[in-house]
Chain A
């Protein structure tokens, strides 16, 4: 692989973004790559926007993805996908879902939640808007949205083998929730 791969996972506090990026890093590392990831703790966790940058390749320097360079943007909340859209590379994939979490500014009426689909159409942003709420419901667990989406993203990261993905999920997910997370990953990967 000549180029370093750049992935941004984004969403809101409490959605399991850091867990998803841990799984991705572990899978990349198992595949023999140098890996770096960056995230910010603190204020961001109180329901604010959360993002994690992951980069893997032969040798990685910067932990941060540069604007215009992301191969994959994985957004666990649909409006948050737009916050990062300027990071998308020309060939990049924007993967998001039908999860909508209104920020406090919208709740209290000082802002309006945008029509995400319309903006994407108008700006011609190629995107995958995946129906993960339905899948999470079928799996009986709202907390696996992160892993369903990671499964969907995994198809766009062919450098990492299926086996390494599953081992990474096994390594990072608490044993109690392993079965449902493995199934979530499979369902995502099949999307």
Chain B
């Protein structure tokens, strides 16, 4: 048996950036963590849940609540952590900005995992800009060791300077592994709650004083930053000086090891004195940063620098060593032996047995569609369904549906439902539904309840009956919740019961009143089969209509020569029989059985 990581207190560990942040928090004695999952940040909380029971960790219904709860815990003197993806910080922005004024009694580290390249996100926002606007400390690690060290140091900064710390990481830091030196956990006491109204109630009279404290704090940290280990100058060839931070530093070292480098780990407040000294020592300056030209714009606003930056390295997409090489070495490329080959794409698809497939299949058959939301079911957009037309942000499917109706009127309303998962509904769909009731919208909201926050790898949420550690928790009753919002028509449908699914859509589209359809069937990650049944094809009955293939199930492929479907027995899902239902000729059955 592998040891739990909380039993390891020395030696080297091979950790992802996310795992290293969890480790850093644990070693530094963090007491409490509350977060909502979001790629690429999710594994920080999962690691805490699995490896570090000393930290009291819980899933919040959304990022705003997560930050509010850690704020309270910090007021009571606990060291706290909240993690989120970049767009999660938008949701949490309200408490985040005010918490900056209030400060930190127990150390506060908030992790923003940005996603340049949009591996799994809807935008490329660079949260250094948000951190700066909130006037908090920003730290940017460049590998797992630094992810651990900066997290730990973040608590010292937070408590010494009375400020929240924003640890800004990117996908490549989160999901890359490298070696990390392990240390033991330090135990620090929870300081306890003491009433301090002037510090924690930002009514204008207090908030003005708070703002002065924030400005003074930034000055003090800037000074501290001059000699802090977070920033360093690596002098080399003085003809070129590269200013960089985060993962970009590693690419610079890889492709231009001889250059002089100013590596910034503390990117708000900026250590101006150190930056000035560096610029004075080199002939020309180059900025290499992923995302927005944050360092470049700020440094150029203060120093007249002869140099280049965002015009050579794009603000769009994720950096890699090729782009950095070409950017800083005048278009240089490694010689390629082979050029790329044009290949069919391999877009992600709903899993075999996915409960969402039934609903999207029927919508598409009915030439209906949906306003979409954030989750696995966003894939309803893909062929063969083409049954999702808008995505804005978490929870927006409901407001968008209602807004379309407001603009065109009930009679010209296209056949749309709002498609939102149960976790996203709890995150920020409920208020949208209340708005629909209150303002008289008549659309149909489909809550796709698969009892799991699935897109991010399968986390518990208030509807699943379990908490972050897998212990039993109260279940939020969605039907009652919806009724309590004032919706009169609520029905629950098994999305794999295709006739019933169709009937539900037909009836609710016809109803001139607001209704909610809850499609309920567990995510395949929730279902541990005892018995295997695999779909079997009977070529003698097949009429080669391809209706089965049009389900878009990854377990069904088409043999173009024999003109029959081929079922992949490893992929076919035990408790699914969608293809059996759609075949018009009983050419598919589900009677091949085995035992796991």
Q: Which residues of chain A have a CB within 8 Å of any CB of chain B? A: 12-13, 25-26, 29, 34-49, 60-64, 66-69, 79-80, 82-83, 85-86, 88-90, 92, 102-114, 119, 123, 125, 142
Contact = CB atoms under 8 A, between A and B. Distances in A.
Interface stretch (B26-34, B279-287, B342-350, B580-588): B342-350
Contacts, number: 170
Given A37-B176, A67-B322, A82-B341, 6 more contacts: A43-B120, A45-B457, A46-B350, A79-B344, A110-B383, A111-B345
A35 B179 contact: yes
Contact of B119 (A26, A44, A62, A69): A44
B14 A61 contact: no
B538 to A, nearest CB: 20
A105 B344 contact: yes
Contacts of B322: 66-67
B552 interface: yes
B356 to A, nearest CB: 11
A45 B348 contact: yes
Interface string B375-395: 010010011100000000000
B200 interface: no
Nearest to B341: A82
A3 B550 CA distance: 50
A102 B335 contact: no
Given A42-B39, A112-B344, A62 B321 contact: yes
B59 interface: no
A71 to B, nearest CB: 12
Contacts of B350: 46
Interface stretch (B247-255, B436-444, B505-513): B247-255
A36 B176 contact: yes
A61 to B, nearest CB: 4
B349 A41 contact: no
Q: Which 5 A-B pairs have the closest CB atoms?
A: A42-B120, A111-B344, A46-B348, A68-B334, A62-B254
For the side of the interface on B, what is the size category? 35 or more
Contact of A26 (B14, B43, B254): B14
Contacts of B339: 86
B347 A35 contact: no
Contacts of A105: 344-347
B307 to A, nearest CB: 22
A48 B347 contact: yes
Contacts of B558: 107, 109
A184 B154 CA distance: 46
Nearest to A100: B557
Contacts of A103: 344-347
A46 B557 CA distance: 16
B349 A47 contact: yes
26 contacts: A12-B346, A13-B348, A34-B179, A36-B176, A38-B172, A39-B176, A40-B120, A40-B175, A42-B119, A42-B455, A43-B120, A46-B379, A47-B348, A63-B143, A63-B176, A63-B247, A66-B320, A67-B334, A82-B341, A85-B338, A90-B337, A92-B337, A104-B347, A104-B382, A108-B549, A114-B344
Interface centre among A68, A104, A119 (most CB of B within 10 A): A104
B29 to A, nearest CB: 28
Interface centre among B175, B338, B384, B457 (most CB of A within 10 A): B338
A46 B351 contact: yes
A20 B351 CA distance: 22
Contact of A36 (B178, B344, B351): B178
B47 to A, nearest CB: 13
A25 B338 contact: no
A145 B274 CA distance: 53
Contacts of A43: 119-120, 348
Nearest to A94: B338
Nearest to A70: B337
Nearest to B382: A104
Nearest to A33: B179
A67 B172 CA distance: 17
Contacts of B250: 61-63
Nearest to A48: B348
Nearest to A105: B344
B175 A61 contact: no
Contact of B346 (A38, A49, A66, A69): A49
A100 to B, nearest CB: 10
Contacts of B171: 40
Interface in B249-275: 250-251, 253-255
B408 interface: no
B340 interface: yes
A155 to B, nearest CB: 21
Contacts of B427: none
Contacts of A90: 335, 337
B212 interface: no
A47 B351 contact: yes
A62 to B, nearest CB: 4
B144 to A, nearest CB: 9
B570 interface: yes
Contacts of B43: 41
A44 B379 CA distance: 12
B336 interface: yes
Interface centre among B40, B120, B177, B250 (most CB of A within 10 A): B177
A153 to B, nearest CB: 19
Contacts of B344: 79, 103, 105-106, 111-114
B556 interface: yes
A142 B334 contact: no
Nearest to A172: B2
B414 interface: no
B554 interface: yes
B368 to A, nearest CB: 20
Contacts of A37: 176-178
A188 B178 CA distance: 27
A83 B383 contact: no
A75 to B, nearest CB: 12
